[in-house]
């Protein structure tokens, strides 16, 4: 498992961002993309904002310019890109307002004015007391990237064997995005002691939390376009944070873990992979693995010599241990969960691929 930052480093960085981040709501007719730098400028403001890659992708989607062509213009013809974007900023039949989230002089997100701000500092302030209230809870991995916050914790006393000697522990992963890259979510995490693989199970989220960042349209802002939270939003946030606390505590349960453990035990039985190369090719396409990831998948599968569905799951999650990008490492842990959730017929097509 990619361990990311220490919890102290994470808290320091999240609080630093909370102090420097600013949010604005502005009509698109009052926005300009500069043709020389592709920076974003508000009408009446002198200095522009550097656009993050994520914000560029959101603008690309909003103006309906295919991302591949958008990126080509960004690199090779910035003036052409600015002309295209500004045309759609300024020529809408109806006035359209967007939320621009900024940090350290960078426009990090270009969002709807209905986007509900659930910020990372709120999440940490809520979950850390819950995770640290018991000495039996261990925070094993956490990070904050350009797009997401992650905290992964284990409940070491809740564990079991998939097969003799192969012990797995129960855990939980909390994730959030401040920039429209995903929901606030609480999902079960399973940690395999023999190889420190982490598995995230999306299909076991009945007791978890999955909250879209969708709220009421923001009605006002000050003369500099800046927006603040009102009392109604803060009250809603308090209710949501209570649900977050309850979801974490719900996963600290042997009953919930037993359901996942039984699924893992079942995955050790059934059909075995006949042709590893073909199976990896088939499953790699389904999971949208890169060529490098497929090669690692195959190496892991052959090295471990476990050609069951459980073996394939572990071969996928093990890739995450050597993936430097924390976002992608977490995605791979989630993809391992999807391997576990393949139906008998779906797994049969993988196992018998030829």
* Alpha carbon distance 22, 105 (integer Å): 10
**Residue 190 neighbours by CB under 8 Å, 6+ apart:** 168, 169, 170, 171, 198, 199, 201, 257, 260, 264
**Of 139, 33, 11, 14, whose CA–CA distance to 83 is shortest?**
33
The reported pLDDT for the residue numbered 283 is: 96
**Of 312, 226, 240, whose CA–CA distance to 276 is shortest?**
312
User: Among all chains, which residue has been given the structure tokens 């999971």?
Assistant: 287
Give domain limits for the chain. Answer: 22-112, 120-212+244-263, 268-351
Question: By mean pLDDT, which of 178-192, 195-209, 316-330 is the weakest?
Answer: 195-209
The reported pLDDT for the residue numbered 213 is: 60
Kindly state the DSSP code that residue 187 receives in the 8-state scheme. E
- Pull the structure tokens for residue 288: 């949208």
Indicate the pTM of the whole model: 0.89
CB 107 within 8 A of CB 52: yes
The reported pLDDT for the residue numbered 112 is: 92
- Pull the structure tokens for residue 281: 């090719």
Length of the chain: 354
User: For residue range 246-295, what is the model confidence (pLDDT) as tens digits?
Assistant: 888 888 888 889 989 999 999 999 999 999 999 999 999 999 999 999 99
User: For residue range 60-80, what is the model confidence (pLDDT) as tens digits?
Assistant: 999 999 999 999 999 999 999
Arithmetic mean of pLDDT over the chain: 89
| pLDDT over 90, % of the chain | 71
208 vs 176, residue with greater confidence: 176
User: For residue range 100-152, what is the model confidence (pLDDT) as tens digits?
Assistant: 999 999 999 999 988 988 999 999 999 999 888 777 889 999 999 999 999 99
User: Among all chains, which residue has been given the structure tokens 């079960």?
Assistant: 188
User: For residue range 287-346, what is the model confidence (pLDDT) as tens digits?
Assistant: 999 999 999 999 999 999 999 999 999 999 999 999 999 999 999 999 999 999 999 999
Write a three-state SS string for 293-311: HHHHHHHHHHHHCCCCHHH
**What phi and psi values does residue 44 have, to the nearest 5 degrees?**
90, -5
């Amino acid at each position: 498992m990619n361990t990311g930052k220490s919890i102290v480093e994470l808290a320091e960085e999240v609080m630093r961002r909370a102090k420097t981040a600013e949010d604005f709501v502005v009509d698109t007719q009052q926005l300009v993309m500069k043709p020389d730098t592709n920076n974003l400028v508000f009408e009446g403001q002198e200095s522009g904002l550097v656009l993050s890659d994520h914000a560029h992708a959101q603008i690309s989607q909003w103006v309906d310019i295919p991302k591949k062509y958008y990126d080509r213009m960004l690199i090779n013809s910035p003036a052409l890109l600015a002309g295209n974007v500004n045309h759609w900023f300024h020529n809408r039949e109806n006035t359209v307002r967007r939320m621009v989230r900024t940090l350290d002089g960078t426009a990090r997100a270009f969002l709807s004015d209905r986007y509900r701000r659930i910020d990372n500092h709120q999440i940490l302030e809520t979950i850390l007391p819950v995770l640290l209230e018991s000495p039996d809870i261990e925070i094993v991995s956490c990070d904050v990237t350009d797009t997401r916050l992650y905290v992964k914790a284990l409940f070491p006393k809740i564990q079991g064997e998939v097969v003799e000697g192969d012990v797995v522990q129960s855990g939980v992963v909390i994730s959030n995005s401040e920039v429209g890259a995903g929901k606030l979510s609480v999902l079960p995490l399973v940690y395999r002691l023999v190889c420190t693989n982490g598995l995230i199970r999306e299909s076991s989220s009945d007791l978890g939390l999955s909250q879209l960042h969708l709220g009421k349209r923001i009605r006002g802002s000050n003369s500099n376009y800046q927006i603040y939270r009102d009392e109604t939003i803060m009250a809603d946030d308090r209710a949501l944070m209570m649900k977050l606390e309850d979801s974490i505590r719900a996963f600290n349960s042997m009953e919930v873990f037993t359901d996942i453990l039984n699924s893992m035990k079942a995955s050790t039985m059934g059909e075995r992979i006949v042709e590893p190369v073909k199976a990896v090719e088939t499953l790699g396409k389904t999971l949208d693995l890169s060529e490098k990831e497929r090669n690692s998948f195959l190496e892991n599968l052959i090295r471990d010599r476990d050609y069951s569905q459980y073996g394939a799951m572990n071969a996928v999650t093990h890739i995450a241990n050597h993936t430097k990008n924390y976002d992608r490492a977490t995605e791979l842990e989630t993809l391992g969960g999807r391997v576990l959730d393949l139906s008998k017929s779906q797994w049969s097509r993988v196992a018998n691929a030829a």
